[in-house]
Amino acid sequence: MTTPSQRILASRRKFLTTAAIGGGAAAASTLAAPYVSAQSPIRWRLQTYSGAPLGAHVIKPQIDAFNRAANGEMEIELYYADQLVPTDELFRALQNGTLDAVQSDEATMASPVDISVFGGYFPFATRFSLDVPALFNYYGLNEIWQEAYDEVDNVTWLSSGAWDPLHIFTIDPIRSLADMRGKRVFGVPTAGRFLSRYGLIPVTVPWDDVEVALQTGQLDGVAWCGFTEAYEVGWADICNYALTNSVTGAWFGSYFANTASWNNIPPHLQELFRITIDQSHYYRAVWYWGGEAQLRVHGEKMELTSLPAEEWAQVTADANGFWDEIAGSSPRAGRVVQAFKDYAANMEAAGYPYR
C-alpha cells in the first residue's frame, strides 16, 4: 500500500511527462521536418549545482527538449553536481571554457560579482515563487544582473528563475532559537550566514554526500530546500523534524554561458536555448509549488515544529538589519535591496490576495 507522500511524489513525477517542456511546440515543430547536418553538431558541456535525483526536475527536462529541438545541429551534455568540477569552482570552470554553461545560484558557485550574495536564499526577499520573476522583470533586477556580468570577462548571464522555499529539516527538533545552537546543517551560503547568528553552523559538503553525512552524524540537518525537494531526494527519510518557519519563499537560480561558447552558436539556437530556459522556469515553479503544501500537510515522514511567535518576530526584525548591512556593501547591492523594499511595500499595500 502506498503512503501519502509516495502518492504525492508520483503525481509530481507525472508532471514530468505531461508538462509542455517534454513535448512543447518548439520541439514538435522542429522535429516535423527532418534535418540532415552537413557537419558535426556543436557540443556543449553544462553542469548544474544539483545532484541527479533533483536534476531530473530542475534541468534534465529542459536539456532533453533542447537536444530534440536542435535537431542534430547541437547537443548539450548534462553533468550533475561535482561530476566535472566541484560546485564552488563552477564559475572558474565556466570562465576558462572547461564548461560551456552552468545552472546555479551566484553564492553557491562563488561568482565574483557584488550581487552574488543575492543568489540562492536571501532572507525574506521573497515569500512566493512568483516574486522572483516579478522582481527581475518589473523591479529592475534583470538590468542589475546584466550590468554586473557585463563587467566579468567571458561569462554571459542569461536568465534567473525561482526554485523552492527554504525550510530547515533536522534529526532533532527545533522549537526555539536556542535549539539552533550548535546544529550543523548543509545549506546555501547567504541564508547560512544569516542563520549563524542564532548558533546554526553552515557546513559545505558535496551534494551527493549529504545523505551519508546525515546518517553518520556529520550533519544535524539541512537548510537547503523546501518540502518537495526534501522528500524527492530522500532527506525526509533521515530527518525527523521540519521547521515550518520559512526564511525565504523562493531561491534565486540562474543560467550562465561561457561567452565564447555562446557567441559560437547561431542566433536561432541561442533563441531556442532561451525558450527552453523559460519552459524550465515554468516547469520547476509548478513542480515545486504543487508539492509544498501537499507534503507539508499529508507527508508522513517529518514532524512539524514552529518557533514561538515572539522569537520569529525577532528573526524578521533582525533581517532588516541584515538587509541594510548588505545594502552598504556596494552601490549596486544597495539598488537590489531597494528593489526588495519597494516590492515588499507594494505587496503589503496591495493586500489580499497578494499577501
pLDDT of amino acid 122: 95
Residue with cell 547541437: 74
Pick from 3, 25, 9: which is nearest to 291 by CA? 9
Residue 79 carries which side chain, given as an amino acid letter? Y
CATH 3.40.190.170, the chain: domain bounds:
21-163+251-294, 166-249+301-347
Superfamily of domain 21-163+251-294, CATH level 4: Bacterial extracellular solute-binding protein, family 7 (3.40.190.170)
pLDDT of amino acid 18: 55
The rounded distance, in Å, linking the Cα atoms of 186 and 202 is 6
The rounded distance, in Å, linking the Cα atoms of 204 and 185 is 8
Contact between 69 and 31 (Cβ < 8 Å): yes
Q: What are phi and psi of 250, to 5 degrees?
A: -165, 140
Residue 9 carries which side chain, given as an amino acid letter? L
The rounded distance, in Å, linking the Cα atoms of 42 and 20 is 25
pLDDT of amino acid 31: 40
Q: Who's near 71: CB < 8 A, 6+ residues apart?
A: 30, 31, 34, 35
The topology (CATH level 3) of 166-249+301-347 is D-Maltodextrin-Binding Protein; domain 2 (3.40.190)
pLDDT tens digits, the chain, 355 residues: what are they? 778 777 666 765 665 555 544 444 444 333 433 444 557 899 999 999 999 999 999 999 999 999 999 999 999 999 999 999 999 999 999 999 999 999 999 999 999 999 999 999 999 999 999 999 999 999 999 999 999 999 999 999 999 999 999 999 999 999 999 999 999 999 878 999 999 999 999 998 999 999 999 999 999 999 999 999 999 999 999 999 999 999 999 999 999 999 999 999 999 999 999 999 999 999 999 999 999 999 999 999 999 999 999 999 999 999 999 999 999 999 999 999 999 999 999 999 999 887 6
Residue 111: CA count within 13 A, CB half-sphere: 32
What does the angle CA 133 – CA 223 – CA 249 come to, to the nearest 5 degrees?
A: 25
pLDDT of amino acid 25: 40
Contact between 27 and 68 (Cβ < 8 Å): yes
The rounded distance, in Å, linking the Cα atoms of 99 and 273 is 16
What does the angle CA 186 – CA 187 – CA 188 come to, to the nearest 5 degrees?
A: 150
pTM listed for this prediction: 0.89
Contact between 201 and 183 (Cβ < 8 Å): yes
